[in-house]
Each structure stands twice: as structure tokens, then as C-alpha cells.
């Protein structure tokens, strides 16, 4: 089973690389890094969230997050507000300009990939989703 496992993993990695390569190009055209786009995409369509939650969702450690948020704040794409109830917390949300960027970049990154899927049928999607969902469930199994 070794070979099959390796082949699947290699395929998964190749697909991801292809997708990221294309989307990274788009993202960079807007002067954003992958991490910065990750934050913006996570904050998009939300009322904002704490740094803690943002870190958990994007898998960045708090120290890293501070730096990325600093750069986004310099670009006036996000705002940080001290929490009203728990004053240790910072609430991070997109600024108006950030919302605008999200509304502009996100669909383009998506569209950029989507163009290639005009020939995908409902069945094709279903098969892909089923296979990936099963894979995900296996990958999620906890390990020491």
C-alpha cells in the first residue's frame, strides 16, 4: 500500500502547488503576501475577531500574527480595537479599505481558478468532494 499512499499524497501536493501558484500570482498583483491575504480572507464577511481566534484559524503563532497585522495596519486594511469586556483582547476587523480589497481580490483569486472548471459536471464535483472529504477525515485523526 506504500506506493498508492505516496502516489495520492504526491497528487494532492501537486494540485495544491498548481492552485497556489496561480492564486499567489493574483494575490501579489495586489501587493499582498500569502499570509496577508489569508488574514483578509479570514476576516472577510465577519464582524471581526480577536487575535487569538485569528491565530487559531490561520495557524499563525501570536508573535507572527502581530507582525503580519502590523503590516496590514500600515496599509490601512485592518483596524485593531481594545475589547470592551475583556481589555486584554484586541478585536481585529477589516477597515473600509480592507473590505474593498477583500471584495476585489477574493473573487479574482477564485475566478482565476474557476475559469478552468467550465467542463466540470455536477458529478465530477461530487466525486471530488467525496474523495477529499474522506481524505480529510483520515488526516484529521489525532496522533501522538
Partner DNA sequence: TATTGTTATACTCTATAACTATA
Partner DNA sequence: TATAGTTATAGAGTATAACAATA
| Residues near DNA, by CB under 7 A | 33-36, 50-52, 55, 60-71, 80, 83, 85-90
Can you give the C-alpha Rg of the chain in angstroms? 18
**Residues paired with residue 54 on neighbouring β-strands, in sequence order:** none
**Residues paired with residue 44 on neighbouring β-strands, in sequence order:** none
C-alpha cell at 66: 502581530
70 binds, among DNA, its own copies, none (CB under 5 to 8 A by kind): DNA
Q: Which CB, 14 or 81, lies closer to its own copies? A: 14
Largest CA distance in the chain: 55
Under the binding rule (CB under 8 A), the answer on residue 103 touching its own copies is no
For the CB of residue 90, give the shortest distance to DNA in the complex, in Å.
4
How many other C-beta atoms are found inside a 10 Å radius of the C-beta of residue 52? 13
103 binds, among DNA, its own copies, none (CB under 5 to 8 A by kind): none
- What is the separation of C-alpha 105 from the centre of its chain, rounded to a whole number of angstroms? 13
Q: Which CB, 29 or 126, lies closer to DNA? A: 29
Q: Which CB, 56 or 129, lies closer to DNA? A: 56
Amino acid at each position: 500500500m506504500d506506493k498508492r499512499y505516496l502516489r495520492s499524497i504526491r497528487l494532492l501536493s501537486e494540485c495544491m502547488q498548481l492552485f497556489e501558484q496561480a492564486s499567489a500570482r493574483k494575490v501579489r498583483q495586489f501587493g499582498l503576501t500569502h499570509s496577508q491575504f489569508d488574514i483578509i480572507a479570514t476576516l472577510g464577511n465577519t464582524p471581526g475577531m480577536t487575535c487569538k481566534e485569528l491565530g487559531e484559524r490561520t495557524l499563525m503563532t501570536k508573535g507572527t500574527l502581530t507582525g503580519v497585522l502590523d503590516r496590514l495596519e500600515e496599509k490601512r486594511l485592518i483596524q485593531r480595537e481594545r475589547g470592551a469586556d475583556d481589555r486584554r483582547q484586541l478585536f481585529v476587523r477589516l477597515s473600509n479599505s480592507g473590505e474593498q480589497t477583500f471584495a476585489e481580490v477574493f473573487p479574482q483569486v477564485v475566478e482565476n481558478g474557476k475559469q478552468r472548471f467550465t467542463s466540470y459536471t455536477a458529478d465530477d464535483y461530487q466525486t471530488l468532494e467525496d474523495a477529499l472529504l474522506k481524505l480529510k477525515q483520515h488526516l484529521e485523526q489525532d496522533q501522538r
